[in-house]
Amino acid sequence: MRILLTHPAVLVFVGGGAGSLLRYWAGRLIPATFSGTPFPNAILLVNVLASFVLGAVVGWVINRAAGDEARLLIGVGFCGGLSTFSSFSYDTVVLLQNGRLAAALLNISLNVLFCLLASAGGLTLGKGL
């Protein structure tokens, strides 16, 4: 049974399911408003969170405090299920189609900037574990 539970595909499947559920709940619980206008706050939050967690996992693995199983379960599965480039892209296109150029540019800027900062912070934290 242990062999099945540590199989790479099972680890990615379980982690991906957990990440996808968290993304779903975030979309339901986080208001989709920013300064009184619709803005994809939930997608921004989960992308930043996933970037931080992935950075921390990679840093942790680099320090050899965690092995390939943690990378697959948390990094590939959970972070892959949690973050969503396709939703980020779609939301940005919808903002553009609705004539909201400033909001679309803000969405792009915040996702890229905050995700890069979160990845760097997570990596630094993970290396210190």
- Whether residue 42 contacts residue 107, with contact meaning beta carbons closer than 8 Å, is answered with no
pLDDT at 39: 85
Of 34, 37, 33, nearest in space to 98 by CA: 37
73-102 pLDDT per residue, tens = 998 999 999 998 999 999 999 999 999 999
Of 80, 82, 83, 102, nearest in space to 92 by CA: 102
- Whether residue 38 contacts residue 104, with contact meaning beta carbons closer than 8 Å, is answered with no
Kindly tell me the sign of the dihedral angle through the C-alpha atoms of 22, 19, 46, 52. Answer: positive
Residue % of the chain over a pLDDT of 90: 62
pLDDT at 104: 96
pLDDT at 80: 92
Q: What share of the chain is helix, strand, coil (3-state, %, to 5)?
A: 80, 5, 15
Low-confidence ranges of the chain (pLDDT < 70): 1-3, 32-37
Q: Where are the domains of the chain?
A: 2-128
Question: If you write DSSP's letter for every residue of 5-17 in order, what string do you get?
Answer: HT-HHHHHHHHHH
pLDDT at 2: 65
The pTM score is 0.84
